[in-house]
Amino acid sequence: MKDIKYINYLNEVGVDDATAGRMVREAFETIFFDENEGFCHHTDEDAWCMVDTGNIDARTEGMSYGMMMCVQMDRQDIFDRLWTFSDRYMHQKEGKYAGYFAWSVGLDGSHNAEGPAPDGEEYFAMALFMAAARWGDREGLYDYTARARDILRHCVHQHELTEGGEPMWEPANKYIRFVPEMKISDPSYHLPHFYEVFALKADEEDRAFWAEAAKASREYLIKSAHPVTGLSSEYADYDGKPVLLFGKPWEYYSDAYRVLINIALDDIWFGSHEGMAEIATHAQDFFRDQDMNYLMAYQIDGTVTDEPSMHPIALKSALGAASVLSKSDHRVVFLQQFVTTRLRQGKRRYYDNCLYFFCLMLLTGNYRLYI
């Protein structure tokens, strides 16, 4: 594994290391503790949850995001409270979903759904492995390594472990599924930089699978990105072509913004991979010609729809993250834009501010790999 050099990319636009560190600390404090703009809810004294403020629920996406934030910020106290909530209220103990996590629950822990969302499981596992590296394993629930391995065991072998269960990764091509029951994917779920770690830390018999999954995911990210605009759809077939779900007639929307963040972090942790810089470059070149004050939903070929972006701060943040590997003439413009972007306020702040915080850590050299 390469020796990772963590860079404050915002230095290019006048943000020194001390200021960058303050920005990260203040954003974390807002997300977890601000009475008006935060979104961490204390369900029990020992069990906290991250609130999707647009839907007033707790999701495996947000819970695992929160745990990753806490690993990065060395806050084991909050990490353990989030993990306790996840295990107590979301972890399925029986049936075809045993070993998975219910993707949406109320703030009291009551289930809104029983099925899982695979992006939650992969973030849970990665956050747990990194927690073990930073703080060490303890017993039971806090044997982070054992719990991460259990999650990944189910992700790969659910069809062997439970009656009627489906794995989260397609056995034949090693692609992550959008949901276990659907043989389609979501490009933003593809995290090859996580799978590289899983190939070192998962059950020994599955390590070759995860190494192959990392390679397959990088190939899929290129295949599913438009060759001119660099845009990826929210949902896609295994051939990379867009799939429309939930009555949305547009392709480039909320989930898809994460692709740029994922390839940037992969570049930082595991080095450059062929084709990834082109995705970031094309995306920045495309958005340089768009009105950044009125971001919309798009088709991946660049066609602009009449639907406004639900999460414009998330998109602006992702475009800033793309500057890590972009070769666009406009890459500094998007760094400057990121510096002037602030945490979102109001009802829809949860998703925007999660992605903003990840991009802030990434661009200031504070999104570290602990293994």
Averaged pLDDT of the chain? 98
Q: Is 255 a catalytic residue?
A: yes
Question: Could you tell me which residues are beta bridge partners of residue 41?
Answer: 49
Q: What is the pLDDT of residue 1?
A: 64
With a cut of 70, say whether residue 323 has pLDDT above it: yes
> Which residue is associated with the tokens 């990319």?
9
The shares of helix, strand and coil residues in the chain, as percent rounded to the nearest 5, are 50, 10, 40
Q: How confident is the model at residue 124 (pLDDT cuts 50, 70, 90)?
A: very high
The domain defined by 42-310 folds into Glycosyltransferase (1.50.10)
pTM, entire model? 0.98
In one-letter notation, the amino acid at residue 194 is: F
Catalytic residue, chosen from 57, 166, 206, 255, is 255
Catalytic residue, chosen from 52, 57, 61, 80, is 61
Q: Is 61 a catalytic residue?
A: yes
DSSP assignment of 209-257 equals HHHHHHHHHHHHHHHHB-TTT--B-SSB-TTS-B---TT---SBSGGGG
Q: What percent of the chain has pLDDT over 90?
A: 99
87-105 pLDDT tens trace: 999 999 999 999 999 999 9
Residue boundaries of the structural domains of the chain:
42-310
Tell me if 92 sits within 8 A of 114, measured CB to CB: yes
170-190 pLDDT tens trace: 999 999 999 999 999 999 999
Q: What percent of the chain has pLDDT over 70?
A: 99
39-75 pLDDT tens trace: 999 999 999 999 999 999 999 999 999 999 999 999 9
With a cut of 80, say whether residue 2 has pLDDT above it: no
